């Protein structure tokens, strides 16, 4: 399966609109930014310094040159710069995709600094970006926000207090921001991806997707891992007018992860009903 060949763009669905995608040079953020560009939007992406060159090259190879703004989402000053530079270049702001997150995964060993950085990049950064973006969305009569959450927002996983706590906070932020921004016609939702083939996951698999896809795929009813483009399409749906009556909620894009019971896919158990 070619992960970029499974979706035909709905041409020009976002023409004339402007979007910010944080962490848009890699993985899920890149897939979302690319699909927005393919559907006619102007897009600004943020990234850490190490990802600037690779991100620009990947967009150029696909025929696009979005505004790439380098900095850390844990910095309030950088969040202000990201929004003001985007509006200065493109003249308006319609959509925000809060995607960049800290991958610190610690539990009993987590330090206060680990918690603080996870929260600063995660829910605190997301919240500030929504506050700043809403000012500009208001000027164009409304807008939409998608927060990239995770299956980790909904379940316990080993040694992940930092990450799962931060993702859990994103769920409540989504609800509260949606409520308060509804009068301004700004919708706020989240997507919760399952295990997705991005670089951290590839690293954990030692680069061997063929070996690990069937193993980690067992976490999902669909018995395979997700590709980033499969998060992009539902995200674009939530941003689009097709989702005009959807706000304050989460769309699991998890291949059935959250509905799976302890019996898993049934292959290792003789309990009635399993094969």
Ligand X SMILES: NC(=O)c1ccc[n+]([C@@H]2O[C@H](COP(=O)([O-])OP(=O)(O)OC[C@H]3O[C@@H](n4cnc5c(N)ncnc54)[C@H](O)[C@@H]3O)[C@@H](O)[C@H]2O)c1
How are strands ordered across the β-sheet holding 186-193?
67-70, 42-47, 18-21, 95-98, 143-148, 186-193, 250-253
Binding mask 26-55 for ligand X (x = CB under 6 A): xxxx----------------xxx--x----
Residue closer to ligand X (CB basis): 45 or 144? 45
Contacts of 245 (CB under 8 A, 6+ apart): none
CA proximity to 265, closest of 225, 221, 226: 221
- At 122, list the tokens: 């995660």
Binding mask 151-190 for ligand X (x = CB under 6 A): ----------------------------------------
Residue 163 annotated to the active site: yes
Residue closer to ligand X (CB basis): 140 or 201? 201
CB of 70 to ligand X, least distance (A): 8
What's the CA gap between 224 and 211, in Å, rounded? 11
What's the CA gap between 112 and 249, in Å, rounded? 30
- At 259, list the tokens: 């509905």
What's the CA gap between 95 and 199, in Å, rounded? 26
Which of 12, 200, 242, 263 is the binder for ligand X (CB under 6 A)?
A: 200
What's the CA gap between 161 and 154, in Å, rounded? 12
Which of 14, 19, 25, 160 is the binder for ligand X (CB under 6 A)?
A: 25
Exactly one of 30, 90, 95, 163 is catalytic; name it: 163
Binding mask 202-241 for ligand X (x = CB under 6 A): ----------------------------------------
CB of 132 to ligand X, least distance (A): 15
According to DSSP, residue 170 is labeled: H
Residues noted as catalytic: 163
Question: Contact residues for ligand X (CB under 6 A)?
Answer: 23, 25-29, 46-48, 51, 72-74, 99-102, 121, 148, 150, 193, 195-196, 198-201
């Amino acid at each position: 399966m070619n992960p970029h060949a499974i979706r035909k763009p709905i041409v020009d669905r976002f023409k004339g609109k402007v979007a910010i995608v944080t962490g848009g040079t890699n993985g899920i953020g890149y897939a979302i930014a690319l699909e927005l560009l393919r559907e006619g939007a102007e897009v600004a992406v943020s990234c850490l310094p190490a990802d600037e060159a690779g991100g620009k090259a990947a967009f150029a190879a696909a025929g696009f040159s979005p505004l790439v703004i380098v900095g850390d989402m844990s910095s309030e000053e950088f969040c202000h710069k990201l929004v003001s530079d985007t509006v200065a270049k493109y003249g308006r702001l319609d959509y925000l995709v809060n995607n960049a997150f800290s991958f610190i995964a610690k539990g009993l060993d987590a330090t206060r600094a680990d918690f603080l950085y996870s929260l600063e990049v995660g829910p605190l950064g997301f919240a500030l970006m929504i506050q700043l973006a809403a000012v500009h969305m208001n000027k164009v009569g409304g807008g939409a926000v998608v927060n990239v959450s995770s299956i980790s927002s909904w379940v316990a996983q080993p040694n992940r207090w930092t990450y799962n706590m931060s993702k859990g906070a994103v769920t409540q932020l989504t609800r509260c921001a949606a409520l308060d921004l509804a009068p301004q016609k700004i919708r706020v939702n989240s997507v919760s991806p399952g295990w997705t083939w991005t670089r951290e996951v590839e690293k954990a698999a030692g680069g061997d997707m063929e070996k690990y896809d069937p193993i980690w795929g067992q976490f999902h009813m669909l018995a395979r891992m997700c590709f980033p483009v499969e998060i992009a399409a539902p995200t674009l749906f939530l941003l689009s007018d097709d989702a005009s009556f959807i706000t304050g909620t989460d769309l699991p894009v998890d291949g059935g992860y959250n509905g799976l019971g302890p019996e898993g896919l049934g292959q290792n158990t003789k309990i009635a009903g399993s094969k």
